[in-house]
Structure 1
Amino acid sequence: MTAKATGCTNASIQVCENKTNAGGNVSVGFPISMMVTGVVGNSLALILVYISYRKKENRRKKSFLLFIGSLALTDLFGQLLTSPVVISVYLADLNWCAIDTTGKLCKYFGVCMTTFGLCSLFLASAMALERAMAITNPHWYSNHMKTSMTKLTLAAIWCLGFLFSLLPIAGIGEYTNQWPGTWCFISTGKSEAPGNVFFAITFAVLGIFSLLVTLSCNVMTIRGLIIRCKTKTGASQSSKQWERLTTETVIQLLGIMCVLIICWSPLLLLLLRMIYSQVSSQECKSTNTTSISIQSKVSNLDCDFFLTAIRLASLNQILDPWVYLLLREILLRKFCIMANAVSNCSVEDQKGSQTALDALNKQNQHGNNICKATSN
């Protein structure tokens, strides 16, 4: 039976033949733990968002909750639709062809990876833009940003991400099995599929553009918060509350930016590099190589880094609910309370030390006066 009849491409057969070499570097525990933590975190975030959405009457807060809930829902479905496939391949001894005899599963996996990856990045950009408008131009935001517009934006993001991921199904671009044979993604090597380079570059450029929009909008929001916080300086309760909320939001935005950069930058930049060099992870750990040359070492190192990069991007689906919602609700408030307690203790200690020192000085002065009176 030929490779075409079984649905496995030459690259897939190469990965299937090399499963033993790659098997020593991977473990089924990794995808299982990622799926469990991702499902738990995003499910908890969805529950909290649903409870808060029913209680909120403010239109601005409802729009933000819709974005948060949509991101958690997107990440949750991304985990549920891809992780079981990865776990099945691990259990099949890294033999993708054993569970994908028609080649359709690889296309399905590639569509899921592309759709949920782009949608997560687009949603992060939309939320950053929404926060920036709410802080820098609150009057325009109050008059124009309605819940219906938020829902239309969410629908547009999901549709655009899904339609773009279907381009290889329509014949533009290609999804191929990637090393170590446990997942499929956009092909970066030489391909006979028309428009493959265009499709791969467009994905990377869209991802980088989304990152830049998110970072720029978050910087604008932080700047706007700090300026408004300075204008509200005072000893009133409202000023202290605004200062606390500003501190929490700034910490949260910094966390969001760090997570996005760490999780997505390696994959997107490496994709551009591999597209330019026409290198694919399908060429990793080839059993046909009889001697290890410098070039093969560099290739293997790139492949290891590429696998790490895709795992970091997948890790973003787990971290999203924590940096956007759970971390703020659970940890940041406790951090601020603890910081205030430490600050208050330091002030009280300083006041106590100063009081004791003043008492000692008065006592010494009183003793000196007694001595002078006695000598006289």
Structure 2
Amino acid sequence: MTPAPLISLVTSPGTNYSNSSTISPPIPLLSGLLMSCLTMIFGTISNLTALGILTKTRARFRGQSKATFLLLTVALLLADLGGHLILGAFALYGHINRGYKMVELKSNGNFCNVFGASMVFFGLCPLVLGCAMAVERWVAINRPFLHLSFKVAHAWQVVLLLTTSALVLALLPIFNIGNYITQPPYTWCFLPIQDSQSTVDKYLVLVFLSLGLTALIISLLCNILSGIPLVKARMKSRNCYRRPSAHGVHHVQSSSMFCSLDVEMLVQLAAVTVVSCVCWGPFFINILMKQLTWGPNNQEKGFTLQSVTMLSRLCCGRVNITTPSDSFVDSRRPTITLQ
């Protein structure tokens, strides 16, 4: 879940722009504004809908075992909602600015610094919070008794630690520790992906890359390890239906309830994992290639625009995948019964 409005700021790779005082013909103002508005409205409505579902879910399930998951999910949705609203507003400003040729976006300017910091913060927060959710699901499924010892205060500490870390990294260039520069087609700002101006810039990019890749890898592993016991439990439930016994009536009933939930949970786990990797993979690979000087030297014709475009388009709809249904939130109780 990353800034979806960025899609409207990125043109096709073949578009030729130059970072000079002469601004080339802008993106069509009407289509750009329309795309920015649609992505911002879609993301806002999706997140608000998800928060409404969570409100009803919290009223129905007040158990301590689900409070940590609900808190992490709310934090994730709020971070994504803020990204759509704030970055959507920046996207609208970028289109109006280019359409009317008011002020050229300059590197290290106040607006560029705020834009770049928002990109880093709202890009990292959903990743690290999604990673925390994946770890929480793994503990709930594979270590249910350990999960019972987790308190809401622990979840709050995790949320504050992760968001503070992302915020500190985002604010460093504003305090002259690194730089935010304009990126082709010079309508958005980010850390120097290529041709870093200093060693500090390169380190900041590597830290961003390391945090993002680590969150992705941990999420992938936890989701896979969470799916394995669910598959085993489903196989056991099928065997119970085929060979019922007087001593296993209660176990069969628990398995029956679980069987109505495990398919949905597996699909959601797989969807979140696949979409995260497909969304962020190209962008992180692009950054890694450029830091290792494997990528093309021409920044405008390189992999940056393709990867960012793919990232933005695919992540526009990811919030619908991460919206937890009542059955998904409640699916851990029968899982613990079967352990």
- TM-score by structure 2 length? 0.79
SS of residue in 1 equivalent to 2:189: strand
Q: Percent identity?
A: 24
Residue 27 of structure 1 aligns to a residue whose secondary structure is: helix
After TM superposition, give the deviation of residue 96 of structure 1 in Å: 8.1
Among 23, 27, 34, which residue is 1:23 paired with? 27
Match for 2:279: what amino acid? C
Q: Which moved more, 1:120-129 or 1:181-190?
A: 181-190
Alignment of 1:146-295 (within 5 A): 146-233=151-238, 234-235=240-241, 236-277=252-293, 283-284=299-300
What code does the residue aligned with 2:292 have? Answer: Y
Distance between the aligned counterparts of 1:135 and 1:127, measured in 2? 12
Query: RMSD of aligned C-alpha atoms?
Result: 2.9
Alignment partner of 1:118 out of 121, 124, 131: 124
1:325 to 316, 323, 326: 323
Secondary structure at the counterpart of residue 175 of structure 2 = coil
AA in 1 matched with 2:57: S
User: What whole-Å deviation, never above 9, does each CA across 1:53-89 have from its counterpart, x for those lacking one?
Assistant: 2332211222111111111100000111111111121
CA distance in 2, matches of 1:192, 1:162: 22
Distance 1:232 1:262 in 2: 33
Are 1:48 and 2:53 an aligned pair? yes
- Cα distance change, pair 221–49 in 1 and its aligned pair in 2 (3 A): same
- Alpha-carbon deviations, 1:123-155, whole Å to 9, x = none? 11100000001111111111x211111111111
Secondary structure of the 1:188 match is coil
Gaps of 5+ in 1: 1-11, 285-299, 332-376
Q: Contact conserved, 2:193 with 2:205, CA < 8 A, in 1?
A: yes
Deviation at 1:193, TM superposition (A): 3.9
Residue 238 to residue 106, structure 1, CA distance change in 2 (3 Å): same
Whether the 8 Å contact between 2:272 and 2:321 is mirrored in structure 1 is yes
Show CA shifts across 1:291-329 (max 9, x none). xxxxxxxxx2x2xx4234224434565434311226x56
CA–CA distance in 1 between the matches of 2:137 and 2:197? 44
Larger Rg: 1
Distance 1:267 1:99 in 2: 26
Aligned partners of 2:168 and 2:257: how far apart in 1?
45
Using structure 1 for the length normalisation, give the TM-score.
0.72
What is the CA distance between 1:191 and its match in structure 2?
A: 3.7
Q: Check whether the contact 2:71–2:155 (CA below 8 A) recurs between aligned residues.
A: yes
Q: Assess, with a 3 A threshold, how the Cα gap between structure 1 residues 97 and 176 changes in structure 2: closer, same or farther.
A: farther
Aligned residue for 2:181, secondary structure, equals strand
Looking at structure 2, the residues matched to 170 and 129 of structure 1 have their Cα atoms a distance apart, in angstroms, of: 33
Q: Give yes or no for contact 2:105–2:187 (8 Å, CA) kept in 1.
A: no
Q: Which residue of 2 aligns with 1:134?
A: 140
If asked which structure has higher relative contact order (CA below 8 Å, sep 6+), I would say: 2
